Structure 1
Amino acid sequence: MYYGLYISAAGAYAQNQKVEMITNNLANVDTSGFKKELGIFEARQSEAIERGYEQPGTRGVSDIGGGVEFKETVTDFSLGTLRATSSRTDFALPATDQFFEIERDGEALLTRSGNFHFSVDGVLRTQDGDAVLAAGGTPLTLDPSLPWRVLPGGLISQGGDTVPLSIKQVSNFRSLEKVGLNAFRANGELTDVPAELRDVRSGSLELSTVNPMQEMVEMIASSRAYENNIKMIQHHDGMTGSLVSRLLKA
């Protein structure tokens, strides 16, 4: 009886984690370049099998299922819709394995969010104030008093000088770690995108990959599954109380 209670509690906890993930996705439905999270569930063995007291397949009393657990979240790196804007400092990358390089607290990070702007000191920055890096790893800086223009391939031209945006190519998406504010830390090898493959769209933004309708359907399904697990917990608790009451009377 208690085993059923524990399985229901594990199921409720797993669904609660999924609801939190979906909530974060919905909160970023309008965030440029945001990549939604997908939840991965995994079936658990019984406690006895996980502790090594029983072997799976023996058909013993402990050779039963252990419910489910929320194993991990994975990021969907598919390309979001590209939308034209009227800003020259909005950039989009059609290639899904390419990222803009930015700097935060002295650390080089990656982002797909290209809604940049020039600060008063002439540094190209993200909406959260991180410096956008030029090829070579230094912040891309212009003279704010002089005109400038954007050339094909993500090149910024001013006064006869041309500075390319730093565009990095990722070979393994699993090596990317989300660090907040729509940025990633690369734990694997990065390469500079060669000039012939630098397709940088100025005056465009990549939209979030979150589909609000789909996320709401997932939210409703997870909420109902959570409620069903809670009802099962209450049911097991009621049965336990009834059994204890009858034993005391006996």
Structure 2
Amino acid sequence: MLRGLYSAASGMFSLERRQEALSNNLANAQTPGFKKDDTVMRAFPKLLIERIQDFNENIPGAAELSIPGQNVRIGELTNGVYAQERIPSFAQGTLVQSDLPLDVAIEDQNIPLQVVNGRTVKPTAFFAVQLPDGTVGYTRNGKWDLDANGNVVTSEGYRVLGADHKPIQITGSIQKEDLTINAEGQLIAKTNDPTKTTNLGQIGIAIAQNPYDLTRKGTNVYTSENPLVFMQDNAGTNPGVSLHQGFVEQSNVDLGQTMTDMMSTVRAYEANQKVVGAYNTSLEQLYSVGKING
């Protein structure tokens, strides 16, 4: 009798985790470069139910002996569901023009598909940033600015790394309005004055051949056990990545679909809640049977 109660409870726990992921997606719908999480829900392994020794057959002429009956198959038993994991979606977000000189968006839809461990995956390009602990993180957030020391930093304050794996620093009297970033990520200052044009370096672009191996750290930054290879390492060729100055990549969260999924999750949670309530009422009635009233 309690099997249904356990199944309903597992459904409530799983739906609660799914709602948390949807709420986080909705909260970051306006975060530049944010990638939504999809919650994978799976059923617990099914069990096969049988009646053991359903009956005994007496042996003629030997009443004291009997043959155990055969097992009788009843059917399968399911034990509810569980939220196995959150899988990020690395689909390209919409590019929105901002006309700010240090807003940069990645477009990597032209990267060819790769086969990793027998599975076809879409490699993803990231900006490389230096985290506070000195490690390297990867983000799609291209909304940048200059700090007090002239370092190019993200909106979270992480320093952006160049193709040489070092933080990009703008020195001298160069202002961010003087910067031009081409599709290859080259930083060029004062392009309107040919006599003062200066190449300040190149933005480092890290390529994750299998982005699902990355670990989300915080809202908008990922880390990898093994450092990702930069597009510019070893004189590598561009695999199909282009940068757009003056554009910001929006999150890939679909607001309408997310709201619909949240309402569906709430209704499913309420349905499981009613099942738990029905079992609770049945157990109360069972407890009251035979109870001696004082």
Q: TM-score, normalised by structure 1?
A: 0.89
Please name the residue that 1:55 is paired with: none
Please name the residue that 2:103 is paired with: 90
Distance apart, 1:70 and its partner CA: 0.8
Letter in 2 for 1:15: L
- CA distance in 1 between counterparts of 2:86 and 2:226 reads 19
Q: Indicate which of 123, 127, 141 corresponds to 1:113.
A: 141
Please name the residue that 1:236 is paired with: 279
Q: Which has the higher strand share?
A: 2
Residues 187 and 60 of structure 1: CA distance in aligned 2, closer, same or farther (over 3 Å): farther
- CA distance in 2 between counterparts of 1:14 and 1:181 reads 22
After TM superposition, the structure 1 = structure 2 runs for residues 140-219 of structure 1, keeping only pairs within 5 Å, are 140-143=168-171, 145-147=173-175, 148-152=178-182, 153-158=184-189, 160-188=198-226, 190-193=228-231, 194=236, 196=238, 197-219=240-262
Q: Which has the higher helix share?
A: 1
Distance apart, 1:221 and its partner CA: 0.4
- CA distance in 1 between counterparts of 2:82 and 2:281 reads 25
Q: Residue 92 of structure 1 contacts residue 204 of structure 1 at CA under 8 Å; is this kept in 2?
A: yes
Please name the residue that 2:43 is paired with: 43
Residues 224 and 39 of structure 1: CA distance in aligned 2, closer, same or farther (over 3 Å): same
- CA distance in 2 between counterparts of 1:213 and 1:249 reads 57
| Bigger-Rg structure (1/2) | 2
Please name the residue that 1:52 is paired with: none
- CA distance in 1 between counterparts of 2:4 and 2:223 reads 41
Q: Residue 18 of structure 2 contacts residue 83 of structure 2 at CA under 8 Å; is this kept in 1?
A: yes
Q: TM-score, normalised by structure 2?
A: 0.77
Percent of aligned pairs with the same amino acid: 26
> Aligned with 2:44: secondary structure?
strand
Distance apart, 1:62 and its partner CA: 8.5
> Aligned with 2:251: secondary structure?
coil
- CA distance in 1 between counterparts of 2:27 and 2:172 reads 34
**Superimposed CA distance per residue, residues 142-201 of structure 1 (whole angstroms, 9 cap, x where no aligned partner):** 115225422421111246333100101110021111101300012356222145445111
Residues 242 and 120 of structure 1: CA distance in aligned 2, closer, same or farther (over 3 Å): same
RMSD: 2.1
Unaligned runs of 5+ in 2: 49-70, 110-123, 190-196
